[in-house]
Homo-oligomer: A and B are copies of this chain.
Amino acid sequence: MSSQARGPDREQQPVAARPDAIRAHNLGLVLSEIHRSGALTRAELTARLGVSRSTIGALVADLAHLGLVFEHVPSGGERAGRPSHVVGPRPGGPYAVAVDLDINQITTAAVGIGGQVLARHVAPVDPHPGTPAAIARLIVDALPALRSAVGRDSRPVGVAVSVPGTVNRRDGFVEFAPNMGWRHVEFGSILGDALPANLRLTLANDANLAVLAEHIRGAARDTGDVIYLMGRIGVGAGLFAGGRAVRGFDGHAGEVGHTILNPAGPKCHCGRRGCVETYIGEKALMNLAGRRGEPTPKKVADIFAAANGGEDKAAAAVRVVAESLGRTVANLVNMLNPELVVLGGSLAGVFDFARADVERALSRHAVTRLHTELRVGQLGDDAPLLGAAELAFAPLLASPSGVMEAV
């Protein structure tokens, strides 16, 4: 993931823990719990964070004062003894601007603390494929509509963009987004220049964001060793190992789509032969199913519908992709020994229809598959968008007071 550090936390240096730093940190812990779990009672917060009831009371009061949380006693919930205050995200509180850049359309959303999509704006990319400047313009043009949808009093805390390609985590360059036709594009700067100056911008790869979202609030909760394998036109992976994101030295880890499954395989647009993408990407599925033209979400969904409806050609196509998917996952399991592989995008559809084929190929090709489980993502196609929101919220969750006093 790449950070164009322009916002309030830019100059933050590591400092020894002072009382202020400890308070800022503790505010972050409380807000993070609420962000992950939604509304919680004070008693739940006290138990989860292992601090005293009065400390929680003071921290919640601080967060309320910052406009981040809202406390109430649920009606009808009065029993004997003290009522338990419920603490949740404040309606009208700050929001993250999350952007999912797909080759057909740009989705821009306002996401609240707690991960709810508060407003969503979808713009088709036309003409296709979009230039970096045109796509930056689509994003910027979506902001006023989001702002009026969430209410004039809410403020954006940052912008994060999911990119279907490799993003250099240091400089915000999109190094390689073959299906967008981009190579070494300084999209971070282009979009940053077009955004209001006070908005912190970060960019990251779509699968890296999807695994982050599924790890925080989806199929991979409480799972430290996870691979999210996402099929769109391209195929990419987001990785967690030992509870931490694996991003690689430049932020390019997870380019599974261009690992080679068979050196004698089909020609890939990247110039090599037999890349994983040529076996399990959406174009491969379309070709096998005898569908013409470029893949779109609708055309891909139609193949799964046809397979489920009994069309032999569609069913056979999904099964062939399922076999290659099992082989691909086997290589990943041999390499990284994850506890869980989460399948997203078109690969979720493949797994739903032909689970047994995927599992059989995996078991045949993995050296030692002790525990690795396969699962479909819980967040569906919103996983990269929700992951982008997590990225945009990260500074706020780390230091609620620091960010809110600067917004």
State whether the Cβ of A270 lies closer than 8 Å to any Cβ in chain B: yes
Binary flags per residue of A244-276, CB closer than 8 Å to B gives 1, else 0: 111111111111101111111000001010000
Instruction: Establish whether residues B263 and A370, one from each chain, have CB atoms under 8 Å apart when the complex forms.
Output: no
User: What are 15 residue pairs bridging A and B, where the CB atoms are less than 8 Å apart in the complex?
Assistant: A175-B370, A224-B249, A237-B335, A242-B247, A249-B338, A249-B339, A249-B371, A250-B368, A253-B337, A258-B334, A259-B331, A260-B331, A262-B262, A270-B367, A332-B335
Contacts A258-B334, A334-B259, A336-B246: A166 and B367 contacting too (C-beta < 8 A)?
Answer: yes
- Min Cβ gap A180→B in Å is 14
**CB-contact partner of A261 in B168, B244, B263, under 8 A:** B263
Which range holds the interface residue count of chain A?
35 or more
**CB-contact partner of A337 in B252, B332, B371, under 8 A:** B252
Among A237, A251, A253, residue most surrounded by chain B Cβ atoms (within 10 Å): A253
Instruction: Establish whether residues A255 and B372, one from each chain, have CB atoms under 8 Å apart when the complex forms.
Output: no
Binary flags per residue of A191-211, CB closer than 8 Å to B gives 1, else 0: 000000000000000000000
Instruction: Establish whether residues B337 and A250, one from each chain, have CB atoms under 8 Å apart when the complex forms.
Output: yes
A32, B102: Cα distance in complex, Å: 48
A338, B248: Cα distance in complex, Å: 6
A335, B254: Cα distance in complex, Å: 5
- Min Cβ gap A211→B in Å is 14
A249, B368: Cα distance in complex, Å: 12
Binary flags per residue of A270-312, CB closer than 8 Å to B gives 1, else 0: 1010000000000000000000000000000000000000000
Considering only residues 358-380 of chain A, those with a C-beta below 8 Å from chain B are: 364-365, 367-368, 370-372
Known: A252-B368, A332-B335. 18 other contacts (CB 8 A): A166-B368, A168-B370, A176-B367, A176-B368, A241-B241, A241-B253, A242-B244, A242-B246, A249-B370, A256-B335, A259-B335, A260-B327, A260-B365, A262-B262, A263-B327, A270-B367, A272-B365, A335-B335
- Min Cβ gap A252→B in Å is 4
A105, B302: Cα distance in complex, Å: 60
- Min Cβ gap A249→B in Å is 4
State whether the Cβ of A225 lies closer than 8 Å to any Cβ in chain B: yes
Copies of chain A in the complex: 2
- Min Cβ gap A396→B in Å is 23
Q: Please name all residues of chain B whose beta carbon is closer than 8 Å to the beta carbon of A168 when the two chains form the complex.
A: 370
Instruction: Establish whether residues A252 and B370, one from each chain, have CB atoms under 8 Å apart when the complex forms.
Output: yes
Considering only residues 117-175 of chain A, those with a C-beta below 8 Å from chain B are: 166, 168, 175
- Min Cβ gap A2→B in Å is 13
A57, B222: Cα distance in complex, Å: 44
- Min Cβ gap A139→B in Å is 24
Instruction: Establish whether residues A248 and B337, one from each chain, have CB atoms under 8 Å apart when the complex forms.
Output: yes
Instruction: Establish whether residues B246 and A367, one from each chain, have CB atoms under 8 Å apart when the complex forms.
Output: no
Instruction: Establish whether residues B367 and A335, one from each chain, have CB atoms under 8 Å apart when the complex forms.
Output: no
Considering only residues 326-356 of chain A, those with a C-beta below 8 Å from chain B are: 327, 330-332, 334-339
A110, B264: Cα distance in complex, Å: 49
- Min Cβ gap A247→B in Å is 7
- Min Cβ gap A367→B in Å is 4
A265, B192: Cα distance in complex, Å: 49
Q: Please name all residues of chain B whose beta carbon is closer than 8 Å to the beta carbon of A255 when the two chains form the complex.
A: 334-335, 337, 367-368
- The 3 A-B pairs with the shortest beta carbon distances in the complex, nearest first, are A248-B337, A249-B339, A252-B337
What residue in chain B is nearest A265 (Cβ atoms)? B263
- Min Cβ gap A323→B in Å is 11
Contacts A263-B262, A327-B263: A249 and B372 contacting too (C-beta < 8 A)?
Answer: yes
A255, B175: Cα distance in complex, Å: 29
Instruction: Establish whether residues B335 and A253, one from each chain, have CB atoms under 8 Å apart when the complex forms.
Output: yes
Instruction: Establish whether residues A336 and B370, one from each chain, have CB atoms under 8 Å apart when the complex forms.
Output: no
A368, B250: Cα distance in complex, Å: 10
